[in-house]
A and B are shown apart, each in its own frame.
Chain A
């Protein structure tokens, strides 16, 4: 049965949609919100006198440093936005600073660079210059993080993308496959053979879970968010995939035809995407996300795959997700029975 669904799958446009969607979305989001793979501010330095500042930038990390030979080359790099900021350190710069001379410092800033990158670079440079001077800073700065670990938007978008993969492959695929069988009457044809309704429904769920699993892993891979621990990531993604396919079965069993399927899918979008919106807006009260049942399936993926936590950190969410999953199974069983009873009398 599953083999048939897998064989039939590639012939349906929806299947192709499910496969290409995460890739396309990832590409779109990366274009729109900046590249995930080069999130660091880029600094170019022309160092004529072997300044300690160059070495200090290297040590500090978090900054992509390019050392160039001449000011002209540097200006070109800045103009081309190959770097965010360019810095020329004349010979004897360090000595001049230490003697309190206040030497001029030429900073070239790319007009296309992100303001955040400029700010980070200028503050870092000033800080490092003060270090060379050897003076004590006038204030003691205390860093306090606000928001979810201050993650870039591109990272916070990953749950949205994974949810899409789960939703389209895990829920939409089995739901539409089930509705298809109802609309074309093939479900009735299956049911006069020794095949049981439970087998048919299980095959659809397996199809959805398998596809959702593969597509979520692909999405995480594309977004460079596979955490540290492979087995843990696979476990949380599998849980999410099964969860999504159960939702898909419920939707597929409820919908009588394609039009109704789309209506249900549209109105259930808020249920599915509700929680992931909160990852995008860390300032919102995060507890609201927990009201959504889908939160408990996506949160372990977020924490293990994206943030790099271990299973030990998310077992609470996972237990709740499994519990909710069992409730979904009970609903699926009820709806299957109802569908079976209605099938014969459906005109």
Chain B
């Protein structure tokens, strides 16, 4: 299974073109196209209802596309091919674990579905920090622990492609950070990762490239840096002493007048601090779609 990675895989791990899905009359995904390379993390950033989950469901065989097509590891996703399913890992938005089984039993059972005789359930649980709870029933787990279980289950078959639907949604910062680290480790091993989120920090931090998804359409797709370069305006925030108080000035960086003013300020004895402020992905999202990421 592993042998295919990097060596024989030449094309993209995920290749989507003109993909559409309609729920009855509602067009949830409106003909989107993108590729994900092996070892790449593509972040799908968009508010609730943007069509992120619907896209993942189509790519993992849960929904049949209404139009367009997609290949994962070179296999058409609408063929419902067990060979493809053997090589992908999925983390669902809803936590769907066997609550009456222990953490280890959950993993071992799913491993058995992949025909894995001797799964390293303990190793996988260690990676998500659940090694000491391996034999406890998932029923007794907190929300964050269950989410970590979801991630570990997606890893159990050492997949070549990972689909992660909001993997850190609603988690405390420490747990979220731990999960992001394991996702990054997978990508470093050469796994292609498609990750959805409505958290701009997560998208920024984790993704090699980010796709802005709004109302079923990709409105921008690039590296976080390029997105900021292209759409964001950086600014400089200056703090000055003024009498007994402090005054703040903000100057856009791509402004000629700003350059003159800032040059003058550099030598001023009243200057306290001066730092650039980067546009966030959320700012750019709002600029492109007229709406924020919340709700």
Give the interface of A toward B (CB within 8 A): 1, 4, 7-8, 11-12, 184-186, 188-196, 343-345
CB <8 Å contact, A192 and B90: yes
Give, as a whole number of angstroms, the nearest-CB distance from A198 to chain B. Answer: 12
Give, as a whole number of angstroms, the nearest-CB distance from A345 to chain B. Answer: 6
CB <8 Å contact, B113 and A195: yes
CB <8 Å contact, A343 and B62: yes
CB pairs A–B below 8 angstroms (25 shown): A1-B113, A4-B101, A4-B112, A7-B105, A8-B100, A8-B101, A11-B100, A12-B100, A184-B96, A184-B98, A184-B99, A185-B95, A188-B62, A188-B96, A189-B110, A191-B62, A192-B88, A193-B114, A193-B157, A194-B83, A194-B85, A344-B57, A344-B62, A344-B63, A344-B64
Alpha-carbon gap, A326 to B99, bound state (A): 35
CB <8 Å contact, B86 and A192: no
Q: How large is the interface on B (under 10, 10 to 19, 20 to 34, 35 or more residues)?
A: 20 to 34
Given A184-B99, A185-B92, A188-B96, decide whether A194 and B86 contact each other with a Cβ distance below 8 A.
Answer: yes
Alpha-carbon gap, A190 to B115, bound state (A): 13
Question: Which A residues touch B63, using CB under 8 A?
Answer: 344-345
CB <8 Å contact, B96 and A345: no
Question: Which A residues touch B105, using CB under 8 A?
Answer: 7
Cross-chain contact of B61 among A1, A8, A189, A192 (Cβ < 8 A): A192
Alpha-carbon gap, A345 to B99, bound state (A): 24
Give, as a whole number of angstroms, the nearest-CB distance from B239 to chain A. Answer: 50
Question: Which A residues touch B98, using CB under 8 A?
Answer: 4, 8, 184, 186
Given A185-B94, A192-B60, A192-B62, decide whether A4 and B114 contact each other with a Cβ distance below 8 A.
Answer: no
Give the interface of B toward A (CB within 8 A): 23, 57, 60-64, 82-83, 85-86, 88, 90, 92, 94-101, 105, 109-110, 112-115, 153, 157
CB <8 Å contact, A189 and B92: yes
CB <8 Å contact, A193 and B61: no
Give, as a whole number of angstroms, the nearest-CB distance from A8 to chain B. Answer: 6
Question: Which B residues touch A194, using CB under 8 A?
Answer: 82-83, 85-86, 113-115
Question: Which B residues touch A186, using CB under 8 A?
Answer: 96-98
Question: Which A residues touch B95, using CB under 8 A?
Answer: 185
Give, as a whole number of angstroms, the nearest-CB distance from A194 to chain B. Answer: 4
Minimal Cβ-Cβ distance residue in B for A187: B96
Give, as a whole number of angstroms, the nearest-CB distance from B88 to chain A. Answer: 7
CB <8 Å contact, A185 and B62: no
Question: Which A residues touch B60, using CB under 8 A?
Answer: 192
Give, as a whole number of angstroms, the nearest-CB distance from A300 to chain B. Answer: 36
CB <8 Å contact, B96 and A193: no
Question: Which A residues touch B97, using CB under 8 A?
Answer: 184, 186, 189
Can you list the 4 inter-chain pairs with the closest CB atoms, starting with the nearest?
A185-B96, A194-B82, A344-B63, A344-B62
